[in-house]
Structure 1
Amino acid sequence: MRARRSKLYSLLMLSFAISFATAGCGSAGAGSGPSGSAAPTVDVLGSVVKDDALAALLPEASRQAGVVKFASSVGSTPPSSFYAEDNKTVQGVDIEIAAAVGQVLGLRIDREVASFEAILPALSSGKYEVGTGNFGVTEARKKTIDFVTYINDGQGFAVRKGDDRVKEVKKLDQLCGLKIGTGAGTTFEATLEREKHVCPDAGKPEYQVLSFSDTAGIYLGLQQQHIDVIMSTINGLRHAASEQPNLVFLNEFKRLDVGFAFKKGSPLTPAFQGAVNKLIKDGTYQRILEKWGTRDSAIPESQISPPEHT
């Protein structure tokens, strides 16, 4: 199922790019993501070795098993996590940071691909031990989930080139009367739904929120003008705009720390935090971000469930 979705995504994105290119538009402005269609291949993990002191922070059961059960949302646009051309191999900044943490702790990552909206509830139920999927740290999520931060990303907007109805989004009442495409179960969807009242309150027509489980549906909707604006990750939209001639990244709306997600009270969090901080200190972290074009999203140190950015 996931492989078929990945093939569909590639075809839709190719169709999207071709239709934009044949519209007679110029090239997109460069984003901070890696350029070109091929993923970078530089090895940034070869020098990462186990740290016995940090591994000792793991619970005994994890040390004995030598494995940790991950659930990952995969298939979104680069650079976060996506499939390679073989439609099997997962890659991206989230994937490599997780792999580096696993090497530091001496753990094998047993990864299962799951839908974004299903991962956090599955952590709470104990089905998985760790979740990745560009999960932003919010106060609402912290009620049931613990986070170990590893990057700073957040919320941004993009439109079709030539659509001048919105030039920048500082307040959501600038989107009144428009159709906004976003991912199901995301902070984007929650923000848009929570603030829907701002347009009627201002005497303006309400904006519509169209939520999708697959990123391909969002981009196809924009291409076919069923959607006017995309709200998604800053890094993802910047990368997409650098690849597609008629897609314009508007602006950052809100920054959020992004972290590994755990069941509330998980004993794994101190070891994961220590591993991320070791990677930051020895330079591996910066090399991973440089590889995937996300150096502007670096954090100075990893934290456990920090306050949400306001």
Structure 2
Amino acid sequence: MRKLVLASVLLLAACGTPEAATTAAPSGGVNITADQHRVRAEQVAAIAALVPPEVRNRGTLVVGTTGNGTPPLSFRADDDKTVIGVEPDLAQLVADVLGLKLDLRASSWENLFLSVDNRQFDAGFSNITVTEERKDKYDFATYRKDTIAFEVRGEKTFEVREPKDIAGLTVGVSAGTNQEQILLRWDQQNKAAGLPAVKFQYYQATSDYYLALQSGRIDVYAGPNPTSAYHVAVEGKTKIVGTVSGGGTIPADIAAMTKKDNGLVKPLRQALDSVIRNGKYAEVLKRWNLTSEALPTSEVNPQGLPRK
């Protein structure tokens, strides 16, 4: 059985682990087995009654998620088949409240949106950020803050809180991401203020960024907080030296996504609020060490990131 071991002290910004507190290894290890023993919730009849008849009569909630993603969001267990992570756990809670069996389906990022479009999936739970552009085609029920983390080697002493903190550094960031757009804006501000330019480095996979970080080819890696925090906890060789909203100066939220006006977003939002109130939501986030990304309530279609 393959186990990863968490550092005994939790991170500055939260991270991921598969099991609930009652099933985690005594050492604080991360359970990446197929036997997850997920946190479960009870059906709430009044909320279940709001589910559109097509879904209610079928008896299943079909949820798409990028199951080949990186921990702790949505990834494969050590059997290389079972999809685990914080996203599947939250989808399970929602399905429970709605009185439905969770039908979790792994998908590529592109097919996730297409499958919601053509009603193959009822909803997407896959670290999806609310944007104004996406709201044209989809409805959203929020459930986590969207946060970007700055990760460095353990011996580094600087912090990253504002644009000047990255001036002159070599920064690893994935192309086409929110974090890249934020850092490009920061770099422009720095250059306008007469500060040294950032040198950006781009690689093909998260593992490549971590190798570059360890070898000193980059000074800092900017990526999704859950992924970085999980890596810090498991490997113990790096640390998080700052976080920023996924929208930069604009608050950003992660949400369950459904096809626009299909009648499902209201029960999804109420189901999320139910598990927020009864503590099950907090159990899941604590299980994955993502407490810092908790929301006090779920919102339908809040202000999203602006159009490009």
- Normalization by structure 1: what TM-score? 0.76
- Amino acid across the alignment from 1:86: D
Q: How does 1:244-283 map to 2 (within 5 A)?
A: 244-254=235-245, 256-283=252-279
Q: How does 1:23-62 map to 2 (within 5 A)?
A: 30-31=10-11, 32-33=14-15, 34=17, 35-39=28-32, 43=37, 45-46=39-40, 48-62=41-55
- Amino acid across the alignment from 1:306: P
Residue 300 (structure 1) aligned to one of 288, 296, 299: 296
Residue 205 (structure 1) aligned to one of 191, 197, 205: 197
CA drift of 1:191 comes to 2.8
In structure 2, stretches of 5+ residues that fail to align are 18-27, 246-250
| Aligned equivalent of 1:290 | 286
Q: How does 1:64-103 map to 2 (within 5 A)?
A: 64-103=57-96
Structure 1 residues 192, 119: CA separation in 2 closer, same or farther (over 3 Å shift)? farther
Range moving further from structure 2, 80-89 or 176-185: 176-185
- Normalization by structure 2: what TM-score? 0.77
Of Structure 1 and Structure 2, which has the larger fraction of its residues in helix?
A: 1
Q: How does 1:132-151 map to 2 (within 5 A)?
A: 132-151=125-144
1:265-293 deviation digits (Å, cap 9, x = unpaired): 34210011111111122222222222222
- Amino acid across the alignment from 1:109: L
Structure 1 residues 131, 225: CA separation in 2 closer, same or farther (over 3 Å shift)? farther
1:239-298 deviation digits (Å, cap 9, x = unpaired): 321222321111121263221122333421001111111112222222222222223332
1:46-79 deviation digits (Å, cap 9, x = unpaired): 5x23333212212221112223332212344433
- For the residue of structure 2 that corresponds to 1:159, the secondary structure is strand
Inter-partner Cα distance in structure 1 for 2:201 and 2:163? 12
CA drift of 1:178 comes to 3.5
| Aligned equivalent of 1:156 | 149
Range moving further from structure 2, 119-128 or 90-99: 119-128
Inter-partner Cα distance in structure 2 for 1:144 and 1:173? 38
Q: What number of residue pairs does the alignment pair up? A: 284
Q: CA RMSD in A?
A: 3.3
* Misfit runs of 4+, over 6 Å: none
Structure 1 residues 186, 265: CA separation in 2 closer, same or farther (over 3 Å shift)? farther
Inter-partner Cα distance in structure 2 for 1:115 and 1:172? 33
Inter-partner Cα distance in structure 2 for 1:171 and 1:217? 26
Residue pair 2:83, 2:106 contacting (<8 A) in 1 also: no
| Identity rate, percent | 28
- Amino acid across the alignment from 1:137: V
Residue pair 2:167, 2:187 contacting (<8 A) in 1 also: no
Inter-partner Cα distance in structure 1 for 2:138 and 2:167? 33
Inter-partner Cα distance in structure 2 for 1:266 and 1:124? 11
- Amino acid across the alignment from 1:30: L
Structure 1 residues 110, 181: CA separation in 2 closer, same or farther (over 3 Å shift)? farther
| Aligned equivalent of 1:23 | none
CA drift of 1:121 comes to 5.6
| Aligned equivalent of 1:221 | 212
Structure 1 residues 275, 135: CA separation in 2 closer, same or farther (over 3 Å shift)? same
